[in-house]
Amino acid sequence: MADLTEWVYLLVLALITAAFLYVATRLITKEELLDAPYALRLFVTAFVIVVLAWALRDFLPGALGILVVFLAMVVVIRYLVIEAVGLGDEWLEALLVSIVTLVFLYVVQLVLGVLDIPFKLFFLAAG
């Protein structure tokens, strides 16, 4: 069972991921309106992704874990986010939003590593 600090950590990761999901979704689908239901969809999607990655981190370490999280991310984004704002090919949009979001998260991980900040995005650490 996770203690309070782990839940706060997961919440912070979910907020970061939700912000990147919003930017990626806006870039891909051109959705400009951010109302409460859409923001809630983004947060729930990010929280599901982060909790799933946290739950699988010990069972699937390394590249396999990242691949499973990425595939789950595509499916979750497709049905929770793109369903509401999709323009055409929803699977392609979900795939692109997932890729852009992971690129943003990798850039954050890289910057945190360069700045020697001990805040690690556990689901991006290979190995």
Q: What is the rounded average pLDDT for all residues in the chain? A: 82
pLDDT tier at 123 (50, 70, 90 boundaries)?
low
pLDDT tens for 33-55 read 788 888 899 999 999 988 888 88
Please classify residue 117 by burial: count the beta carbons closer than 10 Å to its beta carbon, then call 0-12 exposed, 13-18 middle and 19+ buried. exposed
pLDDT of residue 100: 92
* Mean pLDDT confidence for 63-83: 85
pLDDT of residue 99: 92
With contact defined as beta carbons under 8 Å apart, do 81 and 97 qualify?
A: yes
Q: Domain of 82?
A: 4-124
pLDDT tens for 90-109 read 888 889 989 998 888 888 87
How many domains would you assign to the chain? 1
* Mean pLDDT confidence for 60-69: 78
Backbone φ and ψ of 112, nearest 5°: -65, -40
pLDDT tier at 75 (50, 70, 90 boundaries)?
very high
Tokens of 125: 């650490």
